[in-house]
Structure 1
C-alpha cells in the first residue's frame, strides 16, 4: 500500500521581500500526523516561510503544495484552502469585547450555516479539548496569558482543520504555561489526527514534542532531521543556536539592510 502524500511539500523555494531574497532553495516535506518544529533565530525567515504556507507571500521561485494542492493565487481559491488550516498567531488575536465562547464561535459563524445551538455545543467541545470549558462566558481580559493562548488554540481548531500552524506559540508565556501549551499541542495532534508545524525559536520547550526538526538560518535550511540528531550535532552553527552563543556563524545583525559599507 503506497504511503500517503505529505500534507506539505516545498521544493526549491525562493522567497523575496522588499526586493531582497529572504530564503532560497528551501526543500521540506511534512508527513501527515507528524509535528515538525521549524526553528531558528529571530529574523531568520521563519515567519516568511509561514507566509508562503498560508498563501500570504507568493513564491519567487519553486513550488509550495499544501493539503495536496499547489497554494493558489486567486483570492477565492486561497480562502477555500485556508479553511483547512488552523493558525495560532503570536498575539492570540482575541476580540476583547466578545466572550471566550463567542471568540471560538467566530469561524463557525463565518464559514458555516450551522444553527446556534449546534455551534454552542461545538464551541464547548473545543474549549473542553483545551481544558477551558468553565471559562466559556469569561472575557479575554479576565484570562492569564496561558489561558488566552489556549482559547486562541480552541478557535483555530473550530473548523477541524487537518493542518495546524503555530506561529511562536510560547511568546510571552512563563515556563509553566509554556509546558502546558506544548503538551496540549502534542496531545491534540495525536488525539485529533492532526499534522502540526510549530514555528518557534523556543528550542528546548519544542523539541521534546516534535517528530522532526528543521533549523532555518543564514537564508536557508541548515538542518533537517530527528530532534535527537539536532541536539547531538557538532556543527558550529547548530551549537551556536542551541547554546545561545552571541558569536559564531549566525550573525547577530543582518547586514542585508546595510546599503553603505561598514566603516574601517
Structure 2
C-alpha cells in the first residue's frame, strides 16, 4: 500500500512475538492522520504488545510498521529521533516524585532541546494550561489527585509537540468524573492541536464516544476494524462477547486456553 500524508500509522502483515509465543499475527492496520483511534480488547489480548511495536520497543518477526510513511527504525539514534515525534501517556503516569508538576513537564524539553530556560518555562505554562492545571505547576505528584496526575503526564507527553499521541490505558484507576475529563481532553487536544491519537484500552463505553475509528483485538488478531457505529452493530461473536462483557464465548478467559486455540 502506498503511504500518503493521510496515513499516520500503517501495519502490513505484522507478526509480533514474545519469547517463543506469537502474540499477534497478520496484523493489518491503517490509522488515518487526524483521527482518534481506539484499540480495544480484553486484558492479555496483545494491546500492549502492539503499542511496543509502534514505539519501536518490539521489532516485528515479520511485516512492516510505518509511522507517517517511514518504517520504524532499529538503530538507537534513529529510534530516538523518531520517538521525539511520539507522545506516550503511560497508564502509571511515570511522573518523577521528586520533581514538581512543572519540572516533570519541563524534563523532555530540557533533555531534548537547547531552548533557554525562560522559553522552557513559558512552554511549561502553556502545556499545563492546555490540560487545565496551570495553578498546579509547583505541586509535587503526591499532592495531586489521580486525575490531576494523569493530566500532568499528558502535558509532559505533549511537551515536544508530537504529531502522534499514544494513550496506554488512560482511564486506569480513575473515577467516572476524572475519566470523563480525560476523554474530553483527549478529543479536544486532538482537534485543536491537529494530532493523531491512538487510545489503547479495554474501557469501551467511555472511549467510543470520542473516537472516529475503532479496532478490536482478540485471540491474537484484529477481529474488527471500522467506525464506532459499525462496531456497535456488529454481529461477530467475538465482538459481541467483548462488548457485552460475557464470561463465556469464543474469547477464552484463561490465557493458556487462548494460546492453545
> Residue in 1 aligned with 2:102?
101
CA RMSD of superposed structures (Å)? 1.4
Cα distance between partner residues in 1 of 2:234 and 2:13: 25
CA contact (8 A) 1:5 1:68 kept: no
The 1:6–1:257 alpha-carbon spacing in structure 2 relative to 1, beyond 3 Å, is: closer
The 1:78–1:256 alpha-carbon spacing in structure 2 relative to 1, beyond 3 Å, is: farther
Cα deviation, 1:94-131, whole Å, max 9, x if unaligned, reads: 01110000000000000001011110000000000000
The 1:258–1:208 alpha-carbon spacing in structure 2 relative to 1, beyond 3 Å, is: closer
Aligned pair count? 258
Cα distance between partner residues in 1 of 2:257 and 2:99: 43
Matched, 1:60 2:61: yes
SS at match of 1:48: helix
> Residue in 2 aligned with 1:165?
166
SS at match of 1:255: helix
Cα shift at 1:255:
1.7
Cα distance between partner residues in 2 of 1:53 and 1:61: 14
Cα distance between partner residues in 2 of 1:195 and 1:256: 36
CA contact (8 A) 1:214 1:221 kept: yes
TM-score, length-scaled by structure 1? 0.95
Cα shift at 1:3:
6.2
Q: How does 1:79-228 map to 2 (within 5 A)?
A: 79-228=80-229
Which segments of 5 or more consecutive residues in structure 1 lack a partner in the other structure?
260-264
CA contact (8 A) 1:16 1:60 kept: yes
> Residue in 1 aligned with 2:237?
236
